[in-house]
Amino acid sequence: MSAAPKVTFELCACDGNARTGRLHTARGEVATPAFMPVATKAAVKAIAPEQLDALGYRLVVANAYHLALRPGVEVVEAMGGVARFMGFGGAVLTDSGGFQAMSLGRLCTAQPEGLRFKSPLDGAAVLLTPERAAEIQRRLGADIAMTLDHCAPYPATREQACRSHELTARWAERMAAASRPAGQALFGIVQGSVYPDLRRESLRQITALPFDGFAVGGLAVGEPRAVMLEMAALGADGLPWQRPRYLMGVGTPDDLVAAVGLGFDLFDCVQPTRNARNGSAFTDQGRLSIKQARFARDPRPLDGACRCRCCGSFSRAYLRHLYLSGEILAAQALTEHNLAYYAGLMRAMQAAIASRTWSAFVAARNERLAPASGQQG
């Protein structure tokens, strides 16, 4: 049996630092810049895989750590890999579980050999080494695997940030040396918190290793937006031009536009799905909270420019009623709308870069959103 084709990246056009391209995987082609919906436990909350496909999503993010705990690597492997297990026709990128070292707090300690967790399910001790992270992602059948990294919290002392990026570098070396399927790409992750010199040192260490792509991690964890963008810009400046670049955990529509302008290609964030479950919708006029009383008798769709099923079927008044009544349909409809909005935003950015009209696109978007800035939230 022939090996799966290797994941490759093709740059198609640039306008300044903004880039558009194609990520070729065994499960299809992904146009970039691309937003990846978060499917932590092999499911994007409140939306079915076929709906993701209809919206144009060809790549999602799952979490290797969580899937190893439940249902277990053996189950997913026996079911044909994570994409087949979840019924998704596109490709899957798996995060290794490094972020959980920060998010799980006292349940996790970082040591030179790896991350020691207490399982949040039953309290059992779990050791996640770089070699184990590579094995889990191999058996899950991920198209793109991420190295095991250590994400420092914000704020972090210089000592904490230094230890974080040093662990990340050592673990990256070990994971680069670990075996993986011929068709699986492996991305390295840059850390360093908000310290520019540590970020530069992490860039030097990680880009010296033979990874198929690179990610900038440890941002959007509570630092001011200006600081996040400064560190992201530093990261983009130091990453290889011909490899895919992934800005982890970002972001809002405004952050996505800014980050694409810096030269990033891939993004993931819970913003569209979490906001939907909290009654918020992203629109061409800014963010809209359907909970507000002013929508109680509003017959308009969420966004008159949107062609999603939610906007074609439901009024703002009805969506508000669903949300206040605790109906599951509210989360489903708002999630589909928000992911449609994000997909449309990515397509618009791809088109602007391809036509060399990036600056005009950004200026027009800013002008359109300016009158509604006071309505967001």
* Residue 109, token pair as written in the block: 């300690």
Q: What pLDDT sits at residue 103?
A: 74
Q: What pLDDT sits at residue 376?
A: 45
Peptide bond just before 240 cis, omega within 30 deg: no
Domain annotation covers residue 331: yes
Regarding whether 55 and 163 lie in a shared domain, the answer is: yes
Q: What pLDDT sits at residue 344?
A: 98
Regarding whether 363 and 323 lie in a shared domain, the answer is: yes
Catalytic center residues: 95, 268
Query: Three-class SS of residue 117?
Result: strand
Q: What pLDDT sits at residue 252?
A: 97
Domain annotation covers residue 126: yes
Contact, 377 vs 289, CB < 8 A?
A: yes
Domain annotation covers residue 160: yes
Task: Indicate yes or no: pTM above 0.85.
Answer: yes
Regarding whether 334 and 366 lie in a shared domain, the answer is: yes
How, if at all, do strands 245-247 and 108-111 pair?
unpaired
Query: Three-class SS of residue 33?
Result: coil
Query: Which DSSP category does 3 fall into?
Result: P
Regarding whether 163 and 306 lie in a shared domain, the answer is: no
Regarding whether 117 and 73 lie in a shared domain, the answer is: yes
Q: Which of 269, 292, 312 is the last residue of a domain?
A: 269
Distance CA 92, CA 76 (A): 13
Q: What pLDDT sits at residue 8?
A: 97
pLDDT tens over the chain, length 377 residues: 446 778 999 999 999 999 999 999 999 999 999 999 999 999 999 999 999 999 999 999 999 999 999 999 999 999 999 999 999 999 999 999 888 767 777 778 999 999 998 888 888 898 999 999 999 999 999 999 999 999 999 999 999 999 999 999 999 999 999 999 999 999 999 999 999 999 999 999 999 999 999 999 999 999 999 999 999 999 999 999 999 999 999 999 999 999 999 999 999 999 999 999 999 999 999 999 999 999 999 999 999 999 999 999 999 999 999 999 999 999 999 999 999 999 999 999 999 999 999 999 999 999 999 876 544 43
Q: What pLDDT sits at residue 219?
A: 97
How, if at all, do strands 114-118 and 59-63 pair?
unpaired
Q: What pLDDT sits at residue 107?
A: 78
Domain annotation covers residue 2: no
Q: What pLDDT sits at residue 377?
A: 38
Q: Provide the residue range defining the domain that includes 303.
A: 279-375
Distance CA 26, CA 6 (A): 7
Q: Which of 209, 241, 269 is the last residue of a domain?
A: 269
